[in-house]
């Protein structure tokens, strides 16, 4: 009887501990960077999110005519500055960049329990503000949010870029927790995901990028670092295979990690090749919104 009682206490303790951890992993870490735009005309403004809270946003217009608009969404724990380096690459070809910090990131308003679905909501708030179709670029959790937003707003997205993304949400989170520490990932990860799925009423599986791929009918570029330890490169290959044959272009950056594919020497040429093949009509369809 004493053994059963002790086991019951341990189970209750484990459940309470993993419930606390479920809250904490959705709050931390926050690692903003500083990298301000240093080209074109920079407009710094604040928008209203879906819940009335604030989103900090940059719109960076090129010195000459704009070829179109690229909307960038950073990943978990970062901020709008994290995407400036990528925007510089697109700026070479005359694109307007729109970059915001998600709620609970950067200087945007606090918001509990951020996730890919809320990242998507913030993207949609910015899309409404832009008022014209865009090229949508998301990194990591921001890529998951970008795919959700693209599946719900097909008329507002011309091309989709998914960097450091994944095919299955559960698989990705378990990989991330195990990357943080093997004991944490294997010992607590499954229970944390169980709590999350209960809290979001099965939303973890509904937000799987592989499930959403069939709802997107635009060209997609999947970008990944060959040495990504958080989300192994196999995740990117599985995600690319979820789209229709010929719809997704896969670029694997040699020697790159989770966040450094955009610094690969091969990255600009790969982006330009994708734009050259799929960007017909961007000037005429997007010039109004980019001005």
Residues 6+ apart with CB under 8 A from 276: none
What is the average pLDDT value for the chain, to the nearest integer? 93
Which ranges of the chain would DSSP assign to H, the alpha helix? Answer: 2-25, 84-91, 116-130, 141-152, 169-180, 182-199, 203-206, 209-212, 233-242, 267-278, 282-290
pTM of the full structure: 0.93
Helix (H/G/I), strand (E/B), else coil: 179: helix
Q: Per residue in 91-144, pLDDT tens?
A: 999 999 999 999 999 999 999 889 999 999 999 999 999 999 999 999 999 999
Edge-first strand order for the sheet with 95-100 is 41-48, 54-61, 95-100, 68-73, 134-139, 157-163, 220-225, 248-253
- Counted residue by residue, the chain has a size of 291
Contact 46, 55 (CB under 8 A): yes
Q: Which of 90, 89, 84, 103 lies closest to 34, judged by CA?
A: 84
Third-level CATH fold of 31-168+208-290: Rossmann fold (3.40.50)
Q: Which of 119, 115, 116, 117 lies closest to 55, judged by CA?
A: 119
Whether 38 shows a pLDDT value over 90: the answer reads yes
What does the pLDDT read at residue 285?
A: 40
What does the pLDDT read at residue 148?
A: 97
What does the pLDDT read at residue 288?
A: 35
What does the pLDDT read at residue 283?
A: 52
What does the pLDDT read at residue 287?
A: 39
pLDDT-derived band of residue 290, with 50, 70 and 90 as boundaries?
Answer: very low
What does the pLDDT read at residue 258?
A: 97
Residues in a beta bridge with 55: 47
Q: Per residue in 1-29, pLDDT tens?
A: 788 878 888 989 999 999 999 999 988 88
Helix (H/G/I), strand (E/B), else coil: 254: coil
Alpha carbon distance 242, 220 (integer Å): 11
């Amino acid at each position: 009887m004493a053994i059963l009682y002790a086991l019951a206490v341990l189970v209750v303790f484990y459940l309470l501990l993993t419930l606390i951890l479920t809250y904490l992993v959705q709050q931390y870490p926050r690692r903003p960077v500083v990298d301000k735009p240093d080209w074109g005309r920079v407009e710094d403004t604040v928008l209203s999110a879906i819940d009335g809270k604030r989103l900090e946003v940059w719109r960076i217009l090129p010195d000459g005519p704009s070829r179109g608009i690229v909307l960038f969404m950073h990943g978990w724990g970062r901020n709008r500055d994290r995407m400036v380096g990528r925007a510089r690459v697109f700026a070479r070809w005359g694109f307007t960049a729109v970059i915001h910090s998600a709620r609970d990131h950067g200087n945007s308003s606090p918001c509990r329990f951020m996730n890919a679905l809320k990242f998507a909501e913030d993207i949609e708030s910015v899309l409404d503000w832009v008022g014209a179709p865009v090229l949508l670029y998301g990194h990591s959790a921001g890529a998951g949010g970008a795919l959700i937003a693209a599946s719900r707003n097909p008329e507002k997205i011309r091309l989709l870029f998914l960097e450091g993304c994944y095919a299955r949400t559960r698989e990705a989170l378990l990989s991330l927790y195990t990357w943080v520490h093997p004991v944490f990932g294997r010992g607590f990860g499954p229970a944390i995901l169980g709590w999350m799925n209960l809290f979001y009423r099965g939303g973890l599986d509904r937000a799987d990028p592989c499930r959403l791929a069939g709802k997107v009918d635009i060209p997609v570029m999947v970008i990944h670092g060959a040495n990504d330890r958080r989300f192994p490169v196999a995740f990117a290959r599985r995600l690319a295979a979820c789209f229709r044959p010929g719809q997704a272009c896969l670029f694997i950056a040699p020697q790159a990690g989770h966040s450094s594919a955009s610094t690969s020497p091969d990255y600009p040429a790969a982006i330009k090749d994708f734009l050259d093949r799929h960007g017909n009509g961007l000037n005429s369809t997007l010039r109004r919104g980019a001005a």
